Structure 1
């Protein structure tokens, strides 16, 4: 056992757990599944931590394990219909519009194939270069570019995203102040 590697792993988990959890949420679309995904992936990485060459490899390897584990879970999952296909549209106030847009984008993202979804998350949420994404995903650079292109095209076509892209009605203007220009005092001269 190498106590240096164990300490390095513990520091990695302490420093990157929340970022990995957000990444897991974007892969799975559910917080409890994201927590399970991170814990399962970190358990797998723990057993291989001594074979990794550097701390940077630890980050990349963990993301690779998370993508692969998420894909394995999805393949095993029964694909049944959800109890309600379409929820009624709730009227929201303008200040909640950003939350609604984010929710609609996450729903649309959830409709994409797992590998395409993972590629988009790595590219645009994690802001990783395409070459690193190819390494994490275990595919060619051309496959990454193709997945990104197809994924963005599907998101643009998706009704939830296109609805979010349309301009919202502006909020109701506030009532005018009871003091009008005629009621205000005249400016002092001099």
Structure 2
């Protein structure tokens, strides 16, 4: 292994689950989350010698957010197929716990930008200024988006839980 690879392997082992969870809470899709986490680790490894040990998680978070922002900017291109693929039958671990299912359902009611703002502000516990810096938007945009998202989340619990039985 090259110099620093052992450190990166340890970082990847300790941080990959965290990256997948964060990406899943923002995207709402397990496969997208795993793909984003993998891409984040690849990009982080490319500059690993320059990343400070104490800043590795913050750097990975920034890479993850940049990848998400790039996806929002690019139009989704999907190829049409005559036959639909078979549904995945493996149970989603996030839906095994009712609280997680409820939170994920609530987050799904938000737009991608609203989810990103809520995740940065309340899951990562970043300030409004830090959130604005990470998303490259104005402070006012963060404040209004967060306010709008939280208002949606206050109204949504009744609508989300109606379908559960």
Shift of 1:156: 2.4
Residue equivalent to 2:20: 21
Alpha-carbon distance between aligned partners in 2 of 1:165 and 1:142, rounded to the nearest angstrom: 32
> Does the CA contact (< 8 Å) of 1:122 and 1:133 recur in 2?
yes
Residue equivalent to 1:35: 34
Alpha-carbon distance between aligned partners in 1 of 2:24 and 2:64, rounded to the nearest angstrom: 11
- In the alignment, structure 1 segments of 5+ residues that lack a partner are 80-97, 167-190
The one of 139, 158, 161 equivalent to 1:162 is: 158
TM-score (norm 2): 0.69
Residue equivalent to 2:119: 121
> Does the CA contact (< 8 Å) of 2:23 and 2:33 recur in 1?
yes
1:114–1:165: structure 2 CA closer, same or farther, 3 Å change rule?
Answer: same
- In the alignment, structure 2 segments of 5+ residues that lack a partner are 79-96
The one of 57, 70, 73 equivalent to 1:72 is: 70
Q: CA RMSD in A?
A: 3.1
Shift of 1:165: 7.8
Residue equivalent to 2:107: 109
Secondary structure of the 2:116 match is: helix
Residue equivalent to 2:55: 57
> Does the CA contact (< 8 Å) of 2:102 and 2:161 recur in 1?
no
Higher-Rg structure is 1
Greater shift, 145-154 or 31-40, is seen at 145-154
1:164–1:124: structure 2 CA closer, same or farther, 3 Å change rule?
Answer: same
Residue equivalent to 1:48: 47
1:49–1:134: structure 2 CA closer, same or farther, 3 Å change rule?
Answer: farther
TM-score (norm 1): 0.61
Q: How many residues align?
A: 144
Secondary structure of the 1:127 match is: coil
Alpha-carbon distance between aligned partners in 1 of 2:29 and 2:161, rounded to the nearest angstrom: 24
> Does the CA contact (< 8 Å) of 1:29 and 1:106 recur in 2?
yes
> Does the CA contact (< 8 Å) of 1:60 and 1:136 recur in 2?
no
Question: 4+ residue runs of structure 1 moved beyond 4 angstroms?
Answer: none
Higher helix share: 2
